[in-house]
Structure 1
């Protein structure tokens, strides 16, 4: 796959559809590689007349690792006594850098989980570069909303695996814990997904630095109130990683945002829900 030089980094990316169509950029979440946006999902969006781009965020997948920044002090950052190696605004700048590298004056953006936070920050920092905004299973940074269940939190805080097989089994267990109870994935798919992710790239220290960026970036609520951008917010009512209150708060903060709450959806993108999620993305784009 190609790489783009963006914001001083190399970002691995992939595209779907006709480059002559309006661009739509997908931003994935914490520690999640671009292949978490399944090819079929990307192709479905492209079939609605978009040029779809997915990419690996900094410090994950096959994009540039920033190991020279060291391990973050998450406890110190949470207590306000230490700084993060970088912030969500830096990931937003990476995304704009990708726009520039690919020749996009403006683009539609879709973010999931931490990616939703990144595209919110992107809209705040670079409003003139966006055509529409879709925030999926994300939150505003307000600590009173979007809580994580104890079981989901445990998947984030366990020690790194020592072997490939242990890492794959941990991932499968995490997917089972955070996935959609109304649309459970098969064991075969979860093993495929976990194996694909491990064998493509495994970089837990990058995930920690991304987590530090989330913790250190604060509450975006007031800045979101100033947005004037076609927006849709999608969230599952059964999300244990980021409670649906995070999605409701996001939609309440952004003027005229459409809120789509999907029964039985957790913290993933089940294939049976792709038409509904893509439909929401298309509705936001059609308002631009």
Structure 2
């Protein structure tokens, strides 16, 4: 369904439509260029089975949510150079704006508070949500994300190069092949998935929506998000940081730094996990997230 959130048309999936509107809410925020279907259905179902109402949404400029084509595409290479020189990055919007979109989704659904869970760029957005709206944040779960502090390691060299390449053509086969090469570079080495499974998942996403310039604008928004690490010490919500020790896109020191900067945050390293959510990793994450979120609901109720 499409809702008006923060003045934009945002596509939302809400398990509350199936009647569990009285359950505690988990808001799932996906990463760069990823649609709400990037949260695998078994993972969502695992949260539902644990007693939660799950809300997912397409971030602005991606999937079926409102785009920013009128803002232009921006020059990714030039803005990357500016970032490396410590100069401000120009972007069509900020991650703070995307956090306001997420809060707007809660507003549109009449949800007062939720567990805020973000993966990769979604973790950065979730950090902003916890900073902007502490009273709306039951807990914060940051998965394979970063504090954004300067000096942290970036993507492995081959991954960084792959991010700047373009598809060889415009057919579905070209696009799937292009994405598959990148996905395999950042996949969890301990939990490999068959190429056919990955390709089918990629094709499903492309058929739902293909918006490469939205991905570029989101990348620029990440680059423009300077100084987020200074906000993290002010986050008061219970926080769990989960990160794979084999992440080639956002290396694990980025997650370690995130947890270090948030008072009382718990850090969990996931052996063999890269920058994806294969079935085994989904279950590992649920095994940590569910008791963490439930314990914080219990402690808040007691308080």
Shorter-chain TM-score above 0.5: yes
Q: CA RMSD in A?
A: 1.4
- Measured in 2, the distance between the counterparts of 1:8 and 1:228 equals 28
Partner of 2:261: 253
Structure 1, gaps ≥5 residues long: none
- Measured in 2, the distance between the counterparts of 1:83 and 1:128 equals 31
- What is the CA-CA distance between 1:73 and the residue it aligns to? 2.9
Q: After superposition, where does 1:1-288 map in structure 2 within 5 Å?
A: 2-16=1-15, 18-78=20-80, 79=82, 80=87, 83-160=90-167, 161-285=169-293, 286-288=295-297
- Any idea what the Cα deviations from partners look like across 1:12-35, whole Å, max 9, x if unmatched? 111236121011110000001111
- What is the CA-CA distance between 1:143 and the residue it aligns to? 2.5
- Any idea what the Cα deviations from partners look like across 1:112-144, whole Å, max 9, x if unmatched? 000000000111112121100000000011131
Q: Would the aligned equivalents of 1:16 and 1:42 in 2 still touch at CA under 8 Å?
A: no
Structure 2, gaps ≥5 residues long: 298-303
- Using structure 2 for the length normalisation, give the TM-score: 0.91
- Measured in 2, the distance between the counterparts of 1:208 and 1:152 equals 16
- What is the CA-CA distance between 1:172 and the residue it aligns to? 1.1
Structure 2 residue matching 1:105: 3-state secondary structure: coil
- What is the CA-CA distance between 1:146 and the residue it aligns to? 4.3
- What is the CA-CA distance between 1:162 and the residue it aligns to? 2.4
- What is the CA-CA distance between 1:223 and the residue it aligns to? 1.2
- Measured in 1, the distance between the counterparts of 2:265 and 2:88 equals 35
Aligned length: 287
Structure 2 residue matching 1:225: 3-state secondary structure: helix
- What is the CA-CA distance between 1:82 and the residue it aligns to? 5.2
Structure 2 residue matching 1:184: 3-state secondary structure: coil
- What is the CA-CA distance between 1:4 and the residue it aligns to? 1.0
- Using structure 1 for the length normalisation, give the TM-score: 0.96
- What is the CA-CA distance between 1:163 and the residue it aligns to? 2.2
- Measured in 1, the distance between the counterparts of 2:113 and 2:76 equals 35
- What is the CA-CA distance between 1:154 and the residue it aligns to? 2.1
